[in-house]
Chains A and B, each alone.
Chain A
Amino acid sequence: MSDPTDSTDSPASDRPENEKRSDASVPEPPKTEKLRDLSGPVPPKTEQLEEEKPSTEELEIAEELARESDRRAFLQKAGSVVIGGAIVAGPTVVAVRAVLDPLTRGGQGGVLARLTSLDALVPGAPPQVFKVIADKTDAWTTYKDLPLGMVYAQRSEDGELTVFSATCPHLGCVVEFRNTEEHGEQFYCPCHESSFKVDGSLAPNNTQAKRGLDTLEIDQEKLAAGEVWVRFQKFKANIVEKKAVS
């Protein structure tokens, strides 16, 4: 701002000095043009002045004045925009970062939890519902032994163990195991009537779900020791593939 050679930076009170130096500043039309372009829809004042004032001397002075005020206007505008932008952008960046924070907190692969001992599950019996109890951290609170959700465990006649998440793969309600005259034994979601066969696959009368019940990973080492431990996690709702989200 203090550079004396750059007339555009001169303060308003230096007008007489500018008039003297007018010759020097005249041969810079490209710069002025450029500045004008940048400064937006500035009315072509110089042209109007040319039409109204016939005197060449007066014309030159007026032209210079106009150019000068153009530059000043541009700088004022640019300054306002830059400062204004900065004061808006600063807090906005901070705010957006905080609001978007949950995106950085994805799933941690669920939790391992013990359901029961293998002996307690009778082969061939209907699926039995279990509460998944494990430690859980929700934001600032860490819970010990919190019931997190429900699963169904069942053993086939030959003893093979399957554990389903009770969360409906349609939109996340809890499926129930029921027996109706019409459809026999089924998993059924009371929210939107998705239905699943006893083996977890989609039943013929299923209305909504796009995939069967989600099987949960069973800890094989612990199973060999006669204990049923599963990895309890949530999967994305309403898609064909099984995609973990927690």
Chain B
Amino acid sequence: MKFLLNWLDDRTGIRRITHEALFENIPGGARWRYVWGSALTFAILVQFITGIILWMFYSPSANSAWESVYFIEEEIAGGDWLRGIHHWTSQFMIVLLVLHLVQVVVDGAYKAPREFNFWFGLGLLGLTLALGFTGYLLPWDQKGFWATEVATNIVGGTPLIGDELKQLVVGGSEAGHYTLTRFFALHAGVLPAALIGLIVLHIYLFRKHGITPAPLKSAATTRHFWWLALVVMFFAQGMLAWNWQYVSNPVRVAVGVATGICLLRVMFLQLRRGKMEDEESRKPRPGDAYFWPDQILRDAIACAAVLGAVLFFVWNFGTDLSAPADPSENYSAARPDWYYMALFALLKKYDLIMGAFVIPGVVCGIVFLMPFIGRVTIKRIQIGHIFNLVFLAVVLAGFMYWTMVAFRHDWGSEEHQASVDFGHRDAERVKVLAKGPDGIPPEGAVTLLRKDSYAQGPRLFAKHCASCHAYEGHDGTGKKRIQKRSASDLASFPSRQWAEGVLDAERFAHPDFLGSTKLIKGSKMLKFLKGDFKENLEGEEIKMIVAALSAEAKLPSQAEIDKEEAELIEEGRELMLDDLAGACIDCHKYRGEGTKGIDLTGYGSRKWQFEFIKNPAHPRFYGKKNDRMPIFGPKFEGEGEDRKLVRPATLTDVEIWYIIDWMRGEWWKPGDHSESVAVAKEDPASDAAPEEQPAGESPGGELPAAQPAAEPSAGESAADAQPGSADGAPE
């Protein structure tokens, strides 16, 4: 063994190197305050290792980046932990860097001759922020895409060279493949190489100059430290009180406990001050120590704490991956990573030049000049050093304040929360679809959401239906509706809950049902519900009719209960057909009986809805009494030979199916045994053209035979109800 070591040492001088590395002198003994550098080195090592392994799985192009990250997150063994550790360690690196900076400034370690080391440290902070910025885009998800869209436009706002700079960063005039390849080259190549270079210089200079002897550990310095901690905790308490309603209980408790500990510690130290100083004066001063093992133990514990915190966050929060980037889908929840939120708030408060260049520039400039400012001494008072300390405290407090301002706005905004929720909904859905029978196509996962009823239904509802209708009070996507409601809330349509509503006079007249339409004025139905219907039928019989009417829809969510209560439904049907009891057929078409009014055969079924949306003014539905429900299919005029198209459809067949399947809860689900998740497969009649096709097909075209068609009322639609021209009074 010894021979081998000698052999190696003769050729490499390894003993001397190891000795130098391990037996670095630490004046005044090992201290907890010296751990930051080691903790950061550890964090960077973790980033390099996890980063390189992620690299083995990552594919930087606009139609494979999200997909490869998804695969890391969902399929690769341990991939979620790998990505989680890389993500959360980067967050902690920012915190550690700031703590390191604070420690360096407090201990005066930035002063001559250590200026260069201070600047290298600042450079490392800058590189880390740049790594965070470039890494944010790499998953090519909505969050990263839109945040980078803003960020690159800020780059474009750089005075003089903005346009060219932006083009170079983006790799062209618009974000795409080359944005990713460039960001990846920066993130995995240029920036880490620069980081290694600066770290080598940083550690070399640190070893050259040695540790800056902090004020010797004494009762006084310990007391000062705890006082400072208490002040920081009071600041945190202030922030907590300010944002009390947005903060979760664990955080409230944690801040409270931490403040309590600091308070007790300060009281204890303050009370025993005399005694401790007395004891200290009798003890010998602590001698120097070596890096190994005194300091290394503390460093190792600090690194373990960092790792523990990272693992806790990975385990507890996971790592976000929003829906694949789509320039044609707005993502209102777009925000930068938390450490850029203060800048984000400044940008909102001031203009671009002020918020993104002047304020951060001045702050960075002053921090850069700290070694020179720190020299200024007037009458033995280190006025420069004090300025630096105060300035740093103000910057950090300002940073926290502006960060909170940005978060408070979002926490308090229902609109923003709705966007965040809808964003999560997409993110979850696309992962479900990616695992579906179709998998991820070569064009990328972004196409999955574009062909999915669960994703497209609410969007189409918001665009085409929500100007009159509501869905659980909102526009389908969770946002507030724009115009005054003039039609029913369709969330419960056509369930039993809905059927109960339309058969109850009070609820029928409620704005959630027909109360907000013009049809309600002098409505025959309302009169009937108030009068004969109530008098003729018992509660149990109304229940039967409700069950029978709703069963026409064949809702998947009611399949079980419909089957169980088949008898009840059958009795209800008989009541509906009875022109004395239910009396529905007096004013409605139902199962071959009745000649006028809305067709109740297959009421609310997939096919019924499809034809209704295509042409609500068809005699089978509202006919001439149609209020303002637009004809979403192609609009015709004239009859027979003269029939001609006056306007193509505003919704394609596929789009109508998306809306219906979403409202009926018939989107593809992991348990389904269908061969494809796409709706088009169920409906051979419609093609997947994304916008309306000017086809002259009849409103009751070929449909998937989900329901036995009551009457194939193909296209003699002469009724073209003009929007807003409906006659309120039924005959």
Of B174, B329, B331, B347, which is in contact with the most chain A CB atoms at under 10 Å from its CB?
Answer: B174
A133 beta carbon closer than 8 Å to chain B: yes
Whether B348 lies near A102 (C-beta < 8 A) is no
Query: B692 contacts which of A120, A171, A208 (Cβ < 8 Å)?
Result: A120
Whether A173 lies near B167 (C-beta < 8 A) is no
Whether A190 lies near B415 (C-beta < 8 A) is yes
Whether B348 lies near A236 (C-beta < 8 A) is no
Given the known A-B contacts A105-B173, A107-B173, are A133 and B156 also in contact in the complex, defined by CB atoms under 8 Å?
no
CA of A100 to CA of B171 in the docked complex: distance in angstroms? Answer: 9
B648 beta carbon closer than 8 Å to chain A: yes
Whether B156 lies near A237 (C-beta < 8 A) is yes
| Residue in B closest to A138 when the chains form the complex, CB atoms | B176
Whether A116 lies near B168 (C-beta < 8 A) is no
A-chain residues with CB within 8 Å of residue B168 when the two chains form the complex: 99-100, 102-103
Query: A102 contacts which of B178, B351, B650 (Cβ < 8 Å)?
Result: B178
Which stretch of A40-48, A77-85, A139-147, A216-224 is in the interface?
A139-147
Whether B480 lies near A178 (C-beta < 8 A) is yes
CA of A117 to CA of B467 in the docked complex: distance in angstroms? Answer: 20
A9 beta carbon closer than 8 Å to chain B: no
Whether B173 lies near A176 (C-beta < 8 A) is no
Q: How far in angstroms is the closest Cβ of chain B from A50?
A: 42
Of residues 171 through 221 on chain A, the ones whose CB sits less than 8 Å from some CB of chain B are 171-174, 176-179, 185, 190-193, 207-208
A131 beta carbon closer than 8 Å to chain B: yes
Whether A141 lies near B153 (C-beta < 8 A) is no
A65 beta carbon closer than 8 Å to chain B: no
| Residue in B closest to A125 when the chains form the complex, CB atoms | B467
Given the known A-B contacts A103-B167, A140-B177, A246-B174, are A191 and B334 also in contact in the complex, defined by CB atoms under 8 Å?
yes
Q: How far in angstroms is the closest Cβ of chain A from B486?
A: 13
Of residues 152 through 187 on chain B, the ones whose CB sits less than 8 Å from some CB of chain A are 153-154, 156-157, 163-164, 167-168, 170-174, 176-178
Q: How far in angstroms is the closest Cβ of chain B from A205?
A: 13
A39 beta carbon closer than 8 Å to chain B: no
Q: How far in angstroms is the closest Cβ of chain B from A180?
A: 8
Of residues 320 through 337 on chain B, the ones whose CB sits less than 8 Å from some CB of chain A are 326-334
A-chain residues with CB within 8 Å of residue B483 when the two chains form the complex: 126, 179
| Residue in A closest to B632 when the chains form the complex, CB atoms | A120
B723 beta carbon closer than 8 Å to chain A: yes
A128 beta carbon closer than 8 Å to chain B: yes
Number of residues on chain A facing chain B (CB within 8 A) = 53
CA of A78 to CA of B174 in the docked complex: distance in angstroms? Answer: 46
Of A115, A143, A172, which is in contact with the most chain B CB atoms at under 10 Å from its CB?
Answer: A172
Whether B173 lies near A245 (C-beta < 8 A) is yes
Whether B328 lies near A132 (C-beta < 8 A) is yes
Query: B450 contacts which of A140, A147, A236 (Cβ < 8 Å)?
Result: A147
Number of residues on chain B facing chain A (CB within 8 A) = 56
| Residue in B closest to A130 when the chains form the complex, CB atoms | B691
B-chain residues with CB within 8 Å of residue A126 when the two chains form the complex: 467, 482-483
B-chain residues with CB within 8 Å of residue A193 when the two chains form the complex: 348
Given the known A-B contacts A114-B691, A126-B467, A147-B690, are A172 and B177 also in contact in the complex, defined by CB atoms under 8 Å?
no
Q: How far in angstroms is the closest Cβ of chain A from B428?
A: 21
CA of A120 to CA of B419 in the docked complex: distance in angstroms? Answer: 28
Whether A120 lies near B650 (C-beta < 8 A) is yes
A-chain residues with CB within 8 Å of residue B690 when the two chains form the complex: 131, 133, 145, 147
Given the known A-B contacts A116-B650, A147-B326, A207-B348, are A173 and B463 also in contact in the complex, defined by CB atoms under 8 Å?
no
Query: B419 contacts which of A114, A132, A190 (Cβ < 8 Å)?
Result: A190
* Per-position binary interface string of chain A over residues 123-163, scored 1 when its CB falls under 8 Å from any chain B CB and 0 otherwise: 00110110111000011110101011110000000000000
Whether A148 lies near B328 (C-beta < 8 A) is yes
Given the known A-B contacts A148-B327, A150-B328, A237-B153, are A178 and B351 also in contact in the complex, defined by CB atoms under 8 Å?
no
- Count of CB-CB pairs between chains A and B under 8 Å: 135
B507 beta carbon closer than 8 Å to chain A: no
B-chain residues with CB within 8 Å of residue A102 when the two chains form the complex: 167-168, 170-172, 178
Q: How far in angstroms is the closest Cβ of chain A from B493?
A: 24
B-chain residues with CB within 8 Å of residue A149 when the two chains form the complex: 327-328
Given the known A-B contacts A103-B168, A150-B330, A192-B347, are A141 and B150 also in contact in the complex, defined by CB atoms under 8 Å?
no
Whether A147 lies near B328 (C-beta < 8 A) is yes
Given the known A-B contacts A133-B691, A171-B153, are A166 and B327 also in contact in the complex, defined by CB atoms under 8 Å?
no
Q: How far in angstroms is the closest Cβ of chain A from B164?
A: 6
Whether B154 lies near A131 (C-beta < 8 A) is no
| Residue in A closest to B415 when the chains form the complex, CB atoms | A190
Q: How far in angstroms is the closest Cβ of chain B from A243?
A: 9
Query: B334 contacts which of A147, A173, A177 (Cβ < 8 Å)?
Result: A173
CA of A148 to CA of B177 in the docked complex: distance in angstroms? Answer: 15
Whether B163 lies near A236 (C-beta < 8 A) is yes
A119 beta carbon closer than 8 Å to chain B: yes
Whether A173 lies near B328 (C-beta < 8 A) is no
CA of A133 to CA of B688 in the docked complex: distance in angstroms? Answer: 13
| Residue in B closest to A119 when the chains form the complex, CB atoms | B647
Q: How far in angstroms is the closest Cβ of chain B from A184?
A: 10
Whether A246 lies near B150 (C-beta < 8 A) is no
A22 beta carbon closer than 8 Å to chain B: no
Query: A178 contacts which of B170, B334, B482 (Cβ < 8 Å)?
Result: B482
B624 beta carbon closer than 8 Å to chain A: no
| Residue in A closest to B464 when the chains form the complex, CB atoms | A128
B149 beta carbon closer than 8 Å to chain A: yes
Query: B154 contacts which of A116, A133, A171, A234 (Cβ < 8 Å)?
Result: A171
CA of A122 to CA of B635 in the docked complex: distance in angstroms? Answer: 14
CA of A237 to CA of B154 in the docked complex: distance in angstroms? Answer: 8
B-chain residues with CB within 8 Å of residue A246 when the two chains form the complex: 173-174
B667 beta carbon closer than 8 Å to chain A: no
Given the known A-B contacts A100-B168, A102-B172, A126-B467, are A236 and B326 also in contact in the complex, defined by CB atoms under 8 Å?
no
A238 beta carbon closer than 8 Å to chain B: yes
CA of A99 to CA of B416 in the docked complex: distance in angstroms? Answer: 39
A-chain residues with CB within 8 Å of residue B352 when the two chains form the complex: 171, 208, 238
Whether A190 lies near B173 (C-beta < 8 A) is no
CA of A116 to CA of B691 in the docked complex: distance in angstroms? Answer: 8
* Per-position binary interface string of chain B over residues 707-723, scored 1 when its CB falls under 8 Å from any chain A CB and 0 otherwise: 00000000000000001
B396 beta carbon closer than 8 Å to chain A: no
Given the known A-B contacts A120-B650, A190-B415, A238-B352, are A141 and B63 also in contact in the complex, defined by CB atoms under 8 Å?
yes
Whether B328 lies near A234 (C-beta < 8 A) is no
Q: How far in angstroms is the closest Cβ of chain B from A233?
A: 9
A106 beta carbon closer than 8 Å to chain B: yes
CA of A192 to CA of B355 in the docked complex: distance in angstroms? Answer: 12
Whether A208 lies near B351 (C-beta < 8 A) is yes
With A105-B172, A172-B150 known, 9 other A-B pairs at CB within 8 A are: A102-B168, A103-B164, A115-B691, A117-B694, A147-B450, A178-B479, A190-B334, A190-B419, A237-B153
Subset of 23 A-B contacts with CB under 8 Å = A115-B691, A117-B648, A132-B328, A133-B691, A138-B62, A139-B178, A143-B443, A147-B326, A147-B329, A147-B450, A149-B328, A171-B149, A172-B153, A173-B150, A178-B482, A179-B481, A190-B419, A192-B348, A208-B348, A208-B351, A237-B157, A245-B163, A246-B174
B residues neighboring A (CB under 8 Å): 61-63, 146, 149-150, 153-154, 156-157, 163-164, 167-168, 170-174, 176-178, 326-334, 347-348, 351-352, 415-416, 419, 443, 450, 463, 467, 479-483, 646-648, 650, 690-692, 694, 723
Ranked 3 nearest A-B pairs via Cβ? A174-B330, A147-B328, A138-B176
A residues neighboring B (CB under 8 Å): 99-100, 102-103, 105-107, 114-117, 119-120, 122, 125-126, 128-129, 131-133, 138-141, 143, 145, 147-150, 166, 171-174, 176-179, 185, 190-193, 207-208, 234, 236-238, 245-246
